C-alpha cells in the first residue's frame, strides 16, 4: 500500500517514492536523524484491487458451521465438527489460501467443497422452488392435517437433474435450510398446479402482499354462461365473508367445451375462484388447476410431483429487493 511523506525541514518529498501520500508526518528524531512514520493511506489503485478481489469471490466470508447449517447439510452447528470436519468431508478449492481448522473458520462459500463437490452456486443466497402440486395434499406443516406439500416435496423429482440421488439430497437440504422454506400462499387440498417455496421472507411477503397475476384452469359441473365474462370483468362481484368486491378478472370460456374456462386474476381471497363461479354463476367447480403464478408456468412434461429451482436473483429484481 503506498503512502506519501515529506521531510519536515525542507518540505521536500521523501526520495524513496515520489508518489507517496502527504498525510504521513514526522513523529520524532533518533540519534541525529529524522525518524519517518508511515501512515498508510489507501490509494485508488488499492481500492480498485480490493474491489476486484471482492468481485472475484462474489460473496462475503462466513463461518463454516453457519454456512453448512443454513444450507441444510446438517440440522445444527454443533454437528459440523463431528460430521464434517472430523471426517474430512469439508475442503476448499485449490485457489483458496485458507485452511479449515475449526468450525468458526471464515471462508468464501464459493470455495467450499463438501465430499469433493462445490456447493450449489444458485442456492447459496436463498432458494426459490417451483413445485407442481398434486391433489390430496394441504399447504400446511401441521401433521394433524394429513398429507402436506412438504411431504410431497420430499418425494418430488427434480427437473433437469440427471443424478436422481443427488436430486433427492438437494431436496432434503431445502427442507433443512435455515431459515426454513415456506409456501408462497396456499392452494386448496384438491387444487393442483404451480406452487412456489422460498426461504426468503422479504420475497415471500412481496408475492403475497402485492397484486401478482395468477391464472387458473377451471372445470365446472355445467356450461358457463357467456354473460359471466362481463360480470367477472366488472369488479362489482362481492363474495360472502369479504368486505370488498373482487377486482376485475379476465374470463375466457373454452370454445370446444363451455364447462371449461381460464380465469386470470391478481388477488387471492379465501376460496376465491370457487366462490366466484358458485356464488356468482351457480356453477360448482369440479376441477381447479393453477397454470401460472407471477409469470412462472409449468413446462411441457412438468408432471404433478415434479419441481425445479428458479432464479431467485431475477425474482428479487422484480420487487427491487
| 274 alpha-carbon distance from chain centroid | 31
* Residue tagged active-site, from 65, 188, 190, 300: 188
Joined together, the cell numbers standing for residue 87 give 471426517
290 with 192: CB under 8 angstroms? yes
- Select from 142, 59, 44, 63 the least CA-distant residue to 101: 63
188 is catalytic: yes
Joined together, the cell numbers standing for residue 276 give 366466484
- Determine the longest span between alpha carbons in the chain, in angstroms: 106
Q: How many Å apart are CA 307 and CA 156, to the nearest integer? A: 7
Q: Could you tell me how many residues make up the chain?
A: 321
2 with 19: CB under 8 angstroms? yes
Angle at 197 between CA 189 and CA 246, to 5 degrees: 60
Residue 153, sorted as left (phi over 0), alpha (psi -120 to 50) or beta, turns out to be alpha
Strand pairing category for 250-253 and 260-265: antiparallel
Catalytic (active-site) positions = 188
Amino acid at each position: 500500500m503506498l503512502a506519501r511523506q515529506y521531510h519536515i525541514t525542507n518540505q521536500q518529498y521523501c526520495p524513496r517514492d515520489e508518489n507517496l501520500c502527504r498525510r504521513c508526518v514526522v513523529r520524532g528524531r533518533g540519534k541525529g536523524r529524522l525518524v519517518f512514520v508511515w501512515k498508510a493511506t489507501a490509494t485508488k489503485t488499492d481500492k480498485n484491487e480490493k474491489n476486484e478481489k471482492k468481485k472475484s469471490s462474489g460473496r462475503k466470508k462466513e463461518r463454516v458451521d453457519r454456512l453448512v447449517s443454513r444450507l441444510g447439510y446438517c440440522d445444527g452447528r454443533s454437528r459440523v465438527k463431528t460430521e464434517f470436519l472430523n471426517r474430512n468431508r469439508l475442503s476448499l478449492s485449490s485457489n483458496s489460501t485458507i485452511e479449515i481448522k475449526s468450525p468458526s473458520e471464515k471462508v468464501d462459500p464459493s470455495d467450499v467443497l463438501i465430499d469433493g463437490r462445490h456447493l450449489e452456486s444458485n442456492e447459496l443466497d436463498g432458494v426459490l422452488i417451483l413445485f407442481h402440486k398434486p391433489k390430496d395434499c394441504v399447504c400446511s406443516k401441521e401433521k394433524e392435517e394429513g398429507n402436506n406439500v412438504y411431504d410431497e416435496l420430499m418425494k418430488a423429482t427434480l427437473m433437469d437433474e440427471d443424478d436422481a440421488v443427488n436430486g433427492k439430497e438437494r431436496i432434503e437440504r431445502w427442507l433443512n435450510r435455515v431459515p426454513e422454506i415456506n409456501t408462497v400462499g396456499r392452494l386448496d387440498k384438491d387444487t393442483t398446479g404451480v406452487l412456489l417455496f422460498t426461504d426468503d421472507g422479504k420475497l415471500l411477503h412481496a408475492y403475497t402482499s402485492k397484486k401478482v397475476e395468477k391464472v387458473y384452469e377451471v372445470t365446472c359441473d355445467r356450461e358457463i354462461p357467456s354473460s359471466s365474462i362481463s360480470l367477472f370483468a366488472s369488479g362489482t362481484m362481492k363474495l360472502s365473508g369479504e368486505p370488498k368486491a373482487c377486482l376485475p378478472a379476465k374470463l375466457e370460456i373454452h370454445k370446444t367445451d363451455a364447462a371449461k374456462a381460464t380465469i386470470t386474476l391478481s388477488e387471492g381471497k379465501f376460496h376465491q375462484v370457487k366462490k366466484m363461479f358458485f356464488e356468482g354463476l351457480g356453477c360448482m367447480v369440479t376441477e381447479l388447476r393453477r397454470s401460472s403464478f407471477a409469470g412462472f408456468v409449468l413446462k411441457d412434461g412438468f408432471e404433478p410431483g415434479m419441481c425445479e429451482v428458479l432464479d431467485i436473483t431475477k425474482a428479487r429484481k422484480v420487487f427491487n429487493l
